[in-house]
Structure 1
Amino acid sequence: MSKLVSGNHILDLSSPVVMGILNVTPDSFSDGGEYSSIETACIQADLMVSQGAKIIDIGGESTRPGAKDVSAEHEIERVIPLIEYVSKNHDVWISIDTSKPVVMEAAVNAGAHLINDVRALQEPGAIETAAKLNVPVCLMHMQGQPRTMQNSPQYNDIISDISHFFSERIDACIAAGIKREHIVLDPGFGFGKTLSHNYELLSRMAEFEPLGLPLLAGLSRKSMFGQLLGREVSQRLSATLAGNMLAIQAGAKIVRVHDVQETCDTIAVLEATKNFKTLA
């Protein structure tokens, strides 16, 4: 599919697009607390849009290992003012990063176009709520739960296992009334995967093509780069850009990142190389 449609809003996926990460949380692994006030979050949203982000992914609860649970009420208090601000001030897609049905509904009512769920709509009521809201959804694969997902994850074959999970979730979504053309797939780098799993997943991403749905790659500043290179979170930009370039070459249509401008520059070089005959 070369596009996503949410109401009257169309997201062109004929070329890769950048999803900017905006966590209004005090404890996210990379930018925890940096944008926890509405003022700083709005400034960051403005910046990411100006740098070329086509989607702003807004989250109110960290999913890093060991993070504390957040109530639905608290999550709504964090995300809704920012969604309303972005919806009012920018012609850009807004994604809500949540697993809670009540947050999904509040976010879409406030202007969100896409539900981005690390639990792939498996929480009670989530799939029914997403179907009722009639917006695109991103289904992420995760082995286990965020608090325990890195406790010795194992796979028979990582691509086959994740593909089987995706197929089951796609079927469940369609049975619940979600349109197939509303589904995006995220293989979940770092979510219930060892270092070796993550690099095998990146090297074999093209093998998800038979599923026929857009792929999202979430590699930004992940520990897979820190473990490989011995780099702290703030020093993983070049590794992230390399990973995103490989993911795009393997078929990713959306890349979820903290560093929007640098990623847009990378994509521009890739697209110019692919389309050099039209540049003269």
Structure 2
Amino acid sequence: MTDERRREAAVYLPALAHPIRRIGARTFDFERQVAVMAVVNRTPDSFYDRGATFALEKAIEAATRAEAEGADWVDIGGVPFSPGPALPVEDELARVLPVIEGLRAVSNVVISVDTFQAEVARRAIAAGADVVNDTTGLHDPALAEAVADSEATLVITHSLASPRTQYPRPHYDDVAGEIAAFLHSRVELAVSLGVPAERIIVDPGHDLNKNTLQTLELTRRFAEIAALGLPALAAVSNKDFIGETLDAERGDRLEGSLAAAVFCIVQGARIVRMHNVRESVAAVRMTEAILGFRQPAYTRHNMGDANE
């Protein structure tokens, strides 16, 4: 597509250095594909589900249901991002490893572990995780070393606070530019520690140490994150910037979440992290078709001698 046609379509198609990614048992072509990452939190205090999948059987059931509803990827977390007391590594492992093992035993879906602990990353990869999703931007560089010693992919997310600590009144002079620069520097760090660039994904961290106005601007300017040349992840689902924008409680943010995800896709996002899997998969697949990435499931309307 020419630059002129890109402008006409108001769509940003990022030039990716390594668009074809083998992640676990699956291959993604991020020039023509958007992956849907489902969320399973094995925590009693997650911001959205408030412990609905804390029980082991509920967590595994949610993970297998997400795949059945079309998710390409399941993200399993044992510790929320929000401020709170530190959870011992062994306790975090006790939460996430049984879910990873249970899901891997029945599925080849991509599995990521949401952690900032290097030991959790190592043990999760050994249990079958394909991705380490670090929401602290490599606060501990040892986590990158743990990924480097494996075949796993690393998600580097922008945030400013030390893990599980407060960060009141975040300030940015240029929110998207500063986040892009941060991610670029952390990618360089990960590469220096042995993680190949073709196994790195970036996430600007919607709402993470950002207020609603900052997150809305970041979303408008998502193309600046995608321009880093690595597949960009948008974790927008049910977040507070949607609730504050629409005056919507946690259980009433689906439509806003879908709108934010679709906008990020047309600005270059190639993975979206979503709670409501069935609805999100439909929105993503429709967006892919509009962008010309996929063909319709079938074509009958006005295709014959008689109108249907």
Q: Could you tell me which of 16, 38, 51 is aligned with 1:20?
A: 38
Q: Could you tell me which of 260, 265, 270 is aligned with 1:243?
A: 260
The 8 Å contact of residues 112 and 132 in structure 2, kept in 1 or not, is answered as: yes
The 8 Å contact of residues 27 and 67 in structure 1, kept in 2 or not, is answered as: no
Q: More helix by proportion, 1 or 2?
A: 1
Identity %: 33
The 8 Å contact of residues 25 and 108 in structure 2, kept in 1 or not, is answered as: no
Change (3 A) 1:193 1:140: same
Secondary structure at the aligned position of 1:94 is classed as strand
Partner of 1:132: 149
The 8 Å contact of residues 225 and 240 in structure 1, kept in 2 or not, is answered as: yes
Q: Could you tell me which of 108, 125, 133 is aligned with 1:108?
A: 125
For the residues of structure 2 that align with 1:7 and 1:91, how far apart are their CA atoms?
Answer: 8
For the residues of structure 2 that align with 1:247 and 1:113, how far apart are their CA atoms?
Answer: 24
The 8 Å contact of residues 161 and 209 in structure 2, kept in 1 or not, is answered as: yes
For the residues of structure 1 that align with 2:285 and 2:227, how far apart are their CA atoms?
Answer: 27
Partner of 2:114: 97
Q: Could you tell me which of 128, 133, 157 is aligned with 2:174?
A: 157
1:31 paired to 2:49:
yes
Structure 1 stretch displaced more, 149-158 or 221-230:
149-158
For the residues of structure 2 that align with 1:255 and 1:209, how far apart are their CA atoms?
Answer: 13
Q: Could you tell me which of 64, 76, 79 is aligned with 2:93?
A: 76
For the residues of structure 1 that align with 2:209 and 2:274, how far apart are their CA atoms?
Answer: 20
Q: Which amino acid aligns with 1:239?
A: G
Structure 1 spans left out of the alignment, 5+ residues? none
The 8 Å contact of residues 36 and 273 in structure 2, kept in 1 or not, is answered as: yes
Structure 1 stretch displaced more, 4-13 or 108-117:
4-13
Q: Which amino acid aligns with 1:80?
A: L
Computing the radius of gyration from Cα coordinates, the structure with the larger value is 2
Q: Which amino acid aligns with 1:20?
A: A
Taking structure 1 as the reference length, the TM-score comes to 0.94
What is the RMSD computed on CA atoms of the aligned residues? Answer: 1.7
The 8 Å contact of residues 22 and 58 in structure 1, kept in 2 or not, is answered as: yes
Measured against aligned partners, the alpha-carbon deviations of 1:246-274 in whole angstroms (never above 9, x if no partner) come to 01111110000110100011112212223
